[in-house]
Structures are given as C-alpha cells and as structure tokens.
C-alpha cells in the first residue's frame, strides 16, 4: 500500500521509526525465545501436517482433523515454506509482517479520521508498536494481531462507505470473510458494533442505504468464508463438518461458561497490557482536557470501535488478554489525538515502574529473590536490569527536558520488553524449548518403534521433530492396558517437578514448564505412572 505523497515528514518518520522498532523486537524474539508450547508449537504443527499431507483445505493435529482454528494463518506459513523451504524461522515472521501492515493501516486511518492533522498517523503507529500486549503478540505465533489487521481493513471500509463510496462495503465484506478465515466469527463482534453506532459518529447517514450496505457486506463475508468451509467440510468428513459449522461455536460457549472470569477481570490488567501509556498520568490529564473540549468525528469513531467491544468481552465469561488485541489500534489513535493537543511531556511514573523492574531483575540475577530462584532453570544475567534502570533515568530526564512524550514513552516500552526478554532468555530456553525432545521422539520413530504421550497431546513435537507419524495419546484408564500390550514402545511422561529427574533412566529428559518431561520405555513409564506422576 502506498503512503500519500502529501504526508508530513514528521508523520512518515514516526511511522518508519515504529517499523524499525518492530524489526528490532522481532529480531530479539527470534534470538531470545524458542517456539513455545503449548500454543505456538501446536499451530505450527498444524501447518506442518497440512504441508506433509499436501492437504490445504483441512488442518490436522496429530493425525486428526483440527477444527479449532480456520486455515488462513497456516496458509501464510505454507506460502513462506513454498518460497524458502520448510524452516523454523518463517512461521515466526508471519505475525510481525501482519503487525507491520497494521501499523501502516493505523497510520492511514489516522489521516482519514483527522485529515487536517497528518502528523497524528505516525504518532498513532508509535503508540501502537510500544504498547506491551501488542508488542508481545506481534512476535508470537497466534491469531490476534492477524485478526487486528482485518479489523483495521474493515474500519477503512466502514469509513469509505460512510463517505459515500460503495466500494467501502466491498472492503468491509472482504475483511469480514478473511477475519472468519483467520479466527472465526469473532470478527463480527469487532466490526458490527461500530456500524450500528454509525449514526452517532457520522450524523446524516441514510439509514436504509447504510444498513442495507452492511448486510450486503456480511453476505459477501459469508461467501468468502464458505468458499473454504464448504469444500473443507466435504473433504474433512462428517465430524469435521459438524465441528466447523456448529460444534466449534457450541463447544466454545460451553468452555466459556466452564471457565468463568468476573466482569471486571480485564480492568486490573489494562495498566500492564497498555504499558507505558495507561499508567502515565499525562495520558489521563490529556483525556480530561480533551473530554471537556468535546468529541470530534474521529474520536467518536474510535470510541464506537473500542468501548462496545470491550464491554462485550467483559460480559463474555471466557476471557483471555489477547482477545483485546484488535482494540489496540483504536486506543493508539485516540491517544495520538489526545497527545496532539497540548501534551504533558513528563514521564515520571512509567520511568519509575521501569526502574523498579530493572532493580528486580538485578536482584534476581544476584540470587536475592529466593522464590524466583526456585522456579527458574537459570538465573538471569545482571546487565539487562542495569540497562533498564539507565533507560528509565534517560526517559525521565528526557521528559523533564520536554522531549515528545510519544517518542519518549515509545522508547521506554520497546526497550523494556527487549531487555526483559534478554533477562528471561536463560530461564525460558530450558523450560520451553522442546526441539531436542522432539528430535529424540523422531529418532525412536525412525527405528520403527511406537511412541505414546501419557497426557493430553498438543502436538508440540510434530513440527519441531519433523514427525511424519502421530503419537498415541494415552489418558486415564487407557494407560495401563496399552502399556501392558506394547512392551517395546516408548512413552513421553510428564513429571510434576524435576527433583527425581536425575534418577530416571530415559532415552531423553529435560525440564519442562515448571516440571520435567522424559522419554522412557514402557516398563519405566508404567512405574512412573503407578507412582501417580503427571
């Protein structure tokens, strides 16, 4: 997408800076974090099994059709593998690329909302790239940043339609269809409330024409989604067909009510998710000033996008922080608009919190935090905490000298997550990097020996080990009879803690997610499981 020629240099420069920050964050994530179980390894394994089968309609997990997610992200992984060969790094670049495209769409959306203030687009992209939750999920193999891209595209379509351009409804329909192919019907929850509230943020619309166009966009989105779902349902069999057309939605509703969280659950997480912006007193002062002066069209648009969806997610009993990621561009746009009007440059509280975190990292590195020392595989290095303290002091001093708060706080947010990842790297790798275990499983399978998994299996070894055979999933009463009838098999067994790890004779063993995992023969597995080890 080409940027407008008349964009102010300051706006373009801030957009470029936000993209450079994203590049730095991606490089650090690739260096400091492995593909981590359960989610990242599961999704890349689903893409791997589709690739292995040359079946690009139906995702598979451990040899069975996988109905929990639509295939668009898997297709994007396949596109990179087609160009570069199967590798570990391309799946981890897909989400940063969509994050970069989202930064550009946010920049362009600001220019549509406030055409007389073109510099706001660059500020909005900088706010977005430095918000903690956006940063984290931009470098994680999950669906929410990709969904946010389609939400942003849909918002461009809504604005174009509100300006009288019929192609806006076409763009909205494409965004709905592709959002369904990315994460399911949740795209409707993100896009439809703002269309219902259009008479508030854009007075003078002809209601009949407007809502007729919205219905047409929904039908177009359904056609796009069904172009995959119908042939996939025919190819995947009756159980898969029922799952993607009805069972998945029904089951998720059941799970949602089975894992209830209170209505207010998101509220105390907002300071962390939106750090450093939400904890900055200057943001709140800017909000109070801006509210007194009245709401323009662009601000109403952002509120109509953000608030109804936040309220809806708060009342849905099943909650996860990443469900809110598609709302972050609205927050970034609103923040840029408020800070473009007499911003307060002091950055005391965010800098103080970052400095406190830096001190905590240094104490952890020195072994002064006993509870942490018991939980991690290796103590963190000292230098990230020290650098974070220095960075916090620089940001605090920069705020006192009147440096732009957008730039100042963005540097703090990006720098903090980079340094935290470096500090956590020694602890993350031994506990979450399961590639060596996956390769050990592959070696046993290559010898013609069956491998079972003595727990619910999330396919965490399939891609990393390039496995071509599924693992036998053993749980509950099926465990003992299967082990008795397969004495030559090997079993992946999970231990509650790593204290007994040294005494166990295993083909391979390692620490794993706060406990340990071992690859052992059937006899050893039976004895471990008899001792009620998970």
Half-sphere exposure of 156 (CA within 13 A, CB side): 20
| pLDDT computed for residue 374 by the predictor | 54
Q: CA 100 to CA 418: how far, in whole Å?
A: 18
Cα gap 139→221, rounded to integer Å: 28
pLDDT at 194: 96
Q: DSSP 3-state assignment of 197?
A: coil
- Check residue 9 and give its pLDDT: 43
* Residue 50 neighbours by CB distance under 10 Å: 22
Cα–Cα distance measured from residue 497 to residue 513, given in angstroms and rounded to the nearest whole number: 9
Task: Decide: 22 and 139 in contact? Cβ < 8 Å.
Answer: no
CA distance 117 to 119: 6
Q: Look up the pTM and report it.
A: 0.91
For the stretch 191-231, pLDDT in tens is: 999 999 999 999 988 888 999 999 999 999 999 999 999 99
pLDDT for position 31? 92
- Residues 104-115 as b/e (b if ≥16 CB within 10 A, e otherwise) read bbbbbbbbebbe
What pLDDT, on a 0 to 100 scale, did the predictor assign at position 4?
Answer: 41
Q: Which residues of the chain have pLDDT under 50?
A: 1-9, 250-255, 257-258, 370, 372, 533-534
Position 376 scores a pLDDT of 55
pLDDT at 253: 46
Tell me the three-class secondary structure of 93-141, residue by residue. Answer: HHHHHHHHHHHHHHHHHHHHHCCCCCCHHHHHHHHHHHCHHHHHHHCCC
Distance of CA 234 to the CA centre of its chain: 31
Q: Taking the CA of residue 457 as centre, how many other CA atoms within 13 Å lie in the half-sphere pointing to its CB?
A: 24
Look at residue 178 in the predicted model and tell me its pLDDT: 96
In this prediction, residue 27 carries a pLDDT of 95
Domain residue ranges in the chain: 9-339, 348-428, 435-530
pLDDT of residue 503: 82
């Amino acid at each position: 997408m080409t940027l407008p020629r008349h964009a102010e240099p300051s706006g373009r420069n801030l957009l470029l800076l936000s993209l450079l920050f994203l590049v730095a964050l991606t490089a650090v994530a690739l260096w400091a974090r492995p593909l981590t179980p359960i989610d990242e390894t599961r999704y890349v394994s689903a893409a791997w099994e589709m690739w292995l089968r040359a079946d690009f309609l139906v995702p598979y997990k451990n040899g069975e059709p996988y109905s929990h997610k639509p295939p668009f992200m898997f297709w994007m992984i396949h596109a990179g593998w087609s160009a570069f060969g199967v590798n570990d790094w391309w799946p981890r670049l897909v989400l940063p690329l969509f994050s970069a495209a989202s930064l550009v769409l946010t920049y362009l959306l600001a220019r549509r909302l406030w055409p007389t203030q073109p510099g706001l687009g660059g500020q909005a992209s900088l706010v977005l790239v430095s918000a903690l939750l956006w940063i984290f999920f931009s470098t994680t193999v999950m669906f929410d940043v990709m969904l946010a891209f389609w939400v942003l595209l849909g918002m461009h379509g809504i604005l174009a339609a509100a300006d009288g351009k019929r192609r806006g409804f076409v763009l909205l329909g494409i965004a709905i269809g592709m959002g369904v192919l990315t994460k399911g019907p949740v795209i409707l929850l993100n896009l439809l409330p703002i269309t219902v509230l259009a008479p508030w943020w854009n007075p003078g619309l002809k209601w009949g024409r407007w809502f007729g166009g919205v219905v047409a966009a929904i039908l177009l989105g359904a056609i796009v989604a069904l172009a995959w779902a119908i042939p996939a349902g025919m190819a995947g069999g009756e159980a898969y067909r029922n799952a993607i057309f009805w069972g998945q939605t029904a089951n998720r509703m059941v799970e949602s009510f089975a894992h209830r969280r209170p209505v207010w659950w998101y509220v105390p997480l907002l300071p962390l998710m939106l750090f450093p912006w939400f904890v900055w007193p200057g943001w709140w002062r800017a909000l109070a000033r801006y509210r007194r002066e009245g709401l323009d069209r662009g601000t109403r648009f952002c509120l109509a996008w953000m608030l109804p969806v936040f309220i809806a997610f708060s009342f849905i009993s099943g909650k996860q922080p990443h469900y809110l990621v598609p709302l972050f561009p609205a927050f970034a746009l609103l923040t840029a608009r408020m800070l473009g009007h007499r911003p307060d440059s002091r950055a005391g509280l965010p800098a103080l919190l970052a400095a406190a975190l830096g001190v905590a990292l240094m104490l952890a590195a020195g072994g002064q935090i006993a509870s942490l020392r018991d939980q991690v595989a290796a103590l963190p290095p000292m230098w990230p905490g020290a650098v974070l303290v220095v960075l916090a002091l620089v940001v605090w001093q920069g705020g006192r000298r009147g440096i732009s708060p957008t730039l100042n706080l963005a540097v703090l947010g990006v720098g903090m997550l980079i340094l935290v990842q470096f500090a956590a790297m020694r602890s993350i790798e031994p506990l979450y990097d399961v590639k060596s275990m996956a390769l050990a499983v592959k070696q046993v399978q290559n010898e013609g020996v069956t491998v079972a998994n003595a727990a619910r299996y999330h396919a965490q070894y399939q891609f990393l080990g390039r496995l071509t055979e599924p693992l036998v999933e053993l749980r509950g009463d099926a465990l003992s009879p299967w082990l008795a009838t397969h004495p030559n098999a090997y079993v992946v067994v999970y231990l509650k803690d790593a204290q007994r790890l040294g005494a166990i004779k295993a083909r391979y063993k390692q620490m794993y997610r706060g406990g340990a995992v071992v690859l052992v023969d059937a006899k050893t597995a039976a004895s471990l499981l008899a001792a009620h080890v998970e």
